[in-house]
């Protein structure tokens, strides 16, 4: 296989961003579902429940987003690989997932820390049907950090080119 050109690399990164955005929307939707409707902190007085439900909602969102990301990455993103059969194997999915789990750990730690550091923020005083903005801000910041980690890790260890 020949070396990837700068143009090919640009379009690969562009596709990675589009797929990542799609997987992130899936992740955020599942996160919202769990956090707002299935495990809402408002049901319990305990601060521990709030942290637990935040961690569980983040993890479930991540898992569903990871599966979406894998399928879309295999189909659309990484087109220039040394061994296509190996890149699409169960072993590669496992490595892809391990990189994602490391990213999840970074995300979980960052979200919990940032949520506790940020002050409570509301938009026009409305939080009845929305999650507190500091959770979304923390999740967004960590998404940007982990995005770079995921691309480099998956390009180097899964979709070798």
Number of domains in the chain: 1
- Cα→Cα distances 115→120, 136, 155, Å: 9, 9, 31
Helix, strand, coil percentages, rounded to 5, for the chain: 75, 0, 20
Provide the pLDDT for residue 115: 85
Residue 153 lies in a domain: yes
Query: 151 and 16 in contact (C-beta within 8 Å)?
Result: yes
Which has more confidence, 69 or 87? 69
Residue 142 lies in a domain: yes
Distance CA 96, CA 17 (A): 16
Q: Could you list the residue range(s) of the whole structural domain that residue 35 is in?
A: 6-157
Query: 96 and 158 in contact (C-beta within 8 Å)?
Result: yes
Residue 110 lies in a domain: yes
Provide the pLDDT for residue 128: 45
Residue 84 lies in a domain: yes
List beta partners, residue 123: 126
67: burial class by Cβ within 10 Å (0-12, 13-18, 19+)?
Answer: middle
Provide the pLDDT for residue 72: 92
Residue 1 lies in a domain: no
Residue 115 lies in a domain: yes
Roughly how many angstroms between the first and final C-alpha of the chain, as a whole number? 8
Which has more confidence, 14 or 34? 14
Residue 94 lies in a domain: yes
Residue 81 lies in a domain: yes
Which has more confidence, 12 or 125? 12
Under the banding of pLDDT at 50, 70 and 90, the label for residue 109 is: very high
Provide the pLDDT for residue 147: 86
Mean per-residue pLDDT for 113-122? Answer: 78
């Amino acid at each position: 296989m020949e070396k990837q050109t700068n143009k090919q690399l640009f379009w690969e990164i562009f596709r990675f961003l589009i797929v990542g955005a799609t997987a992130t929307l899936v992740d955020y939707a599942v996160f919202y579902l769990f956090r707002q409707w299935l495990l809402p902190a408002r049901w319990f007085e305990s601060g521990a429940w709030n942290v637990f439900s935040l961690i569980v909602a983040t993890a479930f969102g991540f898992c569903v987003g990871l599966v979406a990301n894998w399928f879309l990455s295999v189909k659309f993103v990484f087109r220039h690989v040394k061994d296509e059969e190996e890149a699409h194997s169960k072993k590669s999915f496992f490595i892809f997932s391990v990189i994602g789990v490391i990213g999840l750990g970074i995300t979980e730690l960052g979200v919990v820390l940032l949520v506790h550091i940020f002050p409570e923020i509301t938009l026009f005083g409305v939080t009845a049907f929305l999650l507190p903005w500091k959770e979304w801000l923390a999740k967004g910041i960590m998404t940007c950090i982990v995005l770079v980690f995921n691309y480099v890790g998956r390009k180097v260890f899964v979709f070798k080119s």
